[in-house]
Chains A and B, each alone.
Chain A
């Protein structure tokens, strides 16, 4: 257990490509669904309990040592949007690159060799957490926090939202983030014995639909 490594992995400055993605916030801003701190909070709460929960459980399962290929297939089944699947694998490759250089070792090298086209980002996140000496709770926290941290940062840039307000949103979501991480770890432990179908499959249809529209649109600031 190496708690400082958690800070490093959860830091938004960790160079794994996240800065170019808004987690659906740009599409929501464009559609008028995020206009201020209150609507950002509602968006983030929804994302945390759907995409965030699924990502956290995948990350926790990977950190527990579940088979990455099976987890990747489970992530595909829980990601209807081809654009989001593509984004998830791209971010997975970028995170694996950063992880391999930061925490060198055979396990991550093997992942890159066996899955040259990449794995969904949460699966890589769990594997990188494991390589960094972290446990499933840490991996779940990273994924859950990232699911709301990315959109909040992006919204500061998109709406010129007061950065203190955006940070306040994340603070108010902290108890929910705790609950989501806990639930994700319980599901990940179940998946070790019962298979990946035990992982949550909470879905946010509007995130999936707007991701497709966003991917087809020119003049965007964020890749997704």
Chain B
């Protein structure tokens, strides 16, 4: 795990870890994963859990523009000025990896508009197993898959599953209904990821997003240290 990833000195790239006034900028966490795996629901749950203690904002990268942003607005997880939708021109992975300029602009605008923030969650549009965030955009990334998408996904691997700083296997409550083998998913994920952490979660269960929220707090403490 790389808890300290210093990007100081990259100038205009936007990855610099400090604001022009010398204070540390918000931690930027990316959430990626296939369509329907529960990225937006995880973002909403994280916002509810963390907003009493942190100043945070969200950037969504939709395929059809504002769907995810509008879900978050409807759920009222954050005030509207804390949610920005980036449009991706039919290529969601391009906007988080190959050409991050619109997302960098969005995170900087959020900090300008809202004052200093602790945390910015950047959600990718639903994509495939190869989609990852550029290190120029985020400080760490979470890859969200779900049991209903097939319990062979951890075994198949791909950059999201193998290299994300946290792998979330979502919708564990559905496992008995779709015949998914949770123990096998966990073992396959462990084999693919060595020491990198994996969380199995059901947002409908009592614990909900608590384990992921705890991981986020740990990253933030390391970032601000």
Contacts and interface: CB of A to CB of B under 8 A. Distances in A.
A2 to B, nearest CB: 20
A221 B12 contact: no
A104 interface: yes
A223 B103 CA distance: 13
Nearest to B14: A97
A184 interface: no
A93 interface: yes
B99 A220 contact: no
A183 interface: no
A17 B10 contact: no
Contacts of A218: 64-66
B76 interface: no
Contacts of B89: 19-22, 154, 157, 221-223
Contacts of B12: 97, 100-101, 104, 109, 112
Interface in B58-93: 63-66, 86-91
B104 interface: yes
A65 interface: no
B99 A219 contact: no
Interface in B1-19: 10-14
A46 to B, nearest CB: 22
Interface string A147-171: 0000000100110000000000000
A97 B105 contact: yes
Nearest to B94: A19
A157 B89 CA distance: 9
A205 interface: no
A98 B103 CA distance: 13
Interface in B101-147: 101-102, 104-105
Interface residues of A, number: 29
Contact of B11 (A93, A101, A222, A223): A101
B209 interface: no
Interface residues of B, number: 24
A90 B156 CA distance: 39
Contacts of B65: 218-220, 223
A94 interface: yes
B87 A222 contact: yes
Interface in A90-112: 90, 93-95, 97-98, 100-101, 104, 109, 112
A16 interface: yes
Nearest to B65: A220
Interface string A116-160: 000000000000000000000000000000000000001001100
Give the interface centre of B11, B12, B63 by most chain A CB atoms within 10 Å: B12
Nearest to A220: B65
A157 B90 CA distance: 7
Interface string A181-224: 00000000000000000000000000000000000001111110
A221 B64 contact: yes
11 contacts: A15-B100, A18-B99, A19-B98, A20-B88, A94-B101, A97-B13, A97-B105, A100-B11, A154-B89, A158-B90, A220-B65
Interface of B: 10-14, 63-66, 86-91, 94-95, 98-102, 104-105
Given A104-B11, A109-B12, 11 more contacts: A13-B99, A15-B99, A20-B91, A90-B105, A94-B105, A100-B11, A104-B12, A219-B65, A220-B64, A221-B64, A222-B89
